[in-house]
Amino acid sequence: MAAPKPQRRPIGEILVSQGLATEDDIAKALELQKEGDPRPLGQIILALTEVGSDDVVRVLAKQFDMECVDLDKIDFDASAVGLVSRDFAWENIILPYRYEGGFLKVAIFDPLYLDPLQKIAESTGLKVKPVLSTIEALDRALQRVYRGSPMQPSPLRPPLLWERKQDLRRLIGLFLKDFSSTSGRIMKISRMALGALLAYRWTSVRELMEMMEIASKRAPNDVIRMEHLPSKIRGTQTTADEGKT
């Protein structure tokens, strides 16, 4: 009888064990995923923490027993790249880059997104070996390979946080709930303050959480208003005639 495969450790557990994230970070990421965030858990953790993309790729490679590659430091085999169309590569964020040891090596960013690999294997008749890279490095590599060719955004690339207004509303509500439970206050937010948060171009979930935490501490009456937001978020908006939501 074949020996059972070793149980795969969750990515969050590995990040915590290596000191790259905290238990609270992972709990928050899992809660967001449960709330409907469509991104892979590793991408949510990236947005919530200071963990780098390279760190997540190394953890995923360990978790799935895969090789990882730094696409910024290698040369591509033109005949390997030419096995797939520009549009297929860009839409799937995938890049065949080298023949080695009887395998066609293909850089991917998600070890669970395997449909494109199957299509490449079927269309070429070659044995395909997936190799992990960061999505950022894959984007740079694709831009290099297809230099000068305009490409449409891939559906696999989630919109930037500030573009996802529904997700932002859910996150703001989630943070208000958290602040209420930890402070013993019932936190609310005014319409204008909410509008300012929705309009700001956030770089990460962590930045949103930190700015809201600052505002909640400044709010004496348990209502976050415009004057409680950091100046870079307030912009030129006025605080007059605000109403609660």
Is residue 28 predicted with pLDDT exceeding 80?
A: yes
Q: How far apart are CA 17 and CA 21, in angstroms?
A: 8
What's the domain count of the chain? 3
Residues 79 and 55 in one domain: no
Q: Span 46-74, mean pLDDT?
A: 80
Residues 60 and 79 in one domain: no
Is residue 150 predicted with pLDDT exceeding 60?
A: no
Q: How far apart are CA 153 and CA 71, in angstroms?
A: 20
Residues 52 and 101 in one domain: no
Q: How far apart are CA 24 and CA 5, in angstroms?
A: 30
Percentages of the chain per state (helix, strand, coil), in multiples of 5: 50, 10, 40
Is residue 59 predicted with pLDDT exceeding 90?
A: no
Q: Would you say residue 156 lies in a domain?
A: no
Q: How far apart are CA 106 and CA 30, in angstroms?
A: 29
More confident of the two residues 150 and 211: 211
pLDDT attached to residue 129: 94
Q: Would you say residue 5 lies in a domain?
A: no
What's CA 204's distance to the chain center, in Å? 9
Residues 56 and 80 in one domain: no
Q: How much of the chain, in percent, has pLDDT values that exceed 90? A: 24
Residues 116 and 180 in one domain: no
Q: How much of the chain, in percent, has pLDDT values that exceed 70? A: 82
For the domain that residue 178 is a member of, what is the CATH number?
A: 1.10.8.60
Q: How far apart are CA 185 and CA 98, in angstroms?
A: 58
Q: How far apart are CA 205 and CA 190, in angstroms?
A: 20
More confident of the two residues 94 and 166: 94
Residues 94 and 141 in one domain: yes
Is residue 142 predicted with pLDDT exceeding 50?
A: yes
| 187 Cβ contact partners less than 8 Å away, ≥ 6 residues apart | 176, 179, 180, 216, 219, 222, 223, 224
Q: How far apart are CA 17 and CA 11, in angstroms?
A: 10
Domain that holds residue 53: 11-64
